[in-house]
Amino acid sequence: MNETTKEILKFVVVIGALPWVLPFLRSLVTDLVSAVEEDGGLLGDPPSKEKLEEIRKRKASEPDPLVNELLAHVRLEREGSGGDARSRRG
């Protein structure tokens, strides 16, 4: 393969991966901006007391992004079903 073909192939792969990468990057940037919003954002000044109260009220009404969900095998043991989950499959 010559160098031109390699370069074209690289661009095709990058452009082809964009539908999977862009939603992840959008979510990452949204979470970052939300995390530093109370401190004034990435490059801004700290918000006024009124604006800070609005931000905290809005964040309190949003669902918590950190959810504690038990693993399936732990959940089965806690429910008292006993035994190994793999042995019941067969």
Out of 29-38, 49-58, 80-89, least confident range: 80-89
Q: What is the DSSP string of 9-70?
A: HHHHHHHHHHHHHHHHHHHHHHHHHHHTGGGTTTTSPPPPHHHHHHHHHHHHHSPPS-----
75 in any annotated domain = no
17 in any annotated domain = yes
Work out the average pLDDT over 68-72.
Answer: 72
pTM of the shown model: 0.57
37 in any annotated domain = yes
26 in any annotated domain = yes
Q: Which residues are within 8 A (CB) of 9 and not within 5 positions of it... i.e. 6 or more apart?
A: 1
- Residue 70's pLDDT is what? 73
Q: How many domains does the chain have?
A: 1
Q: Which residues are within 8 A (CB) of 85 and not within 5 positions of it... i.e. 6 or more apart?
A: 72, 73, 76
70 in any annotated domain = no
Domain holding 18, by residue range, is: 3-65
80 in any annotated domain = no
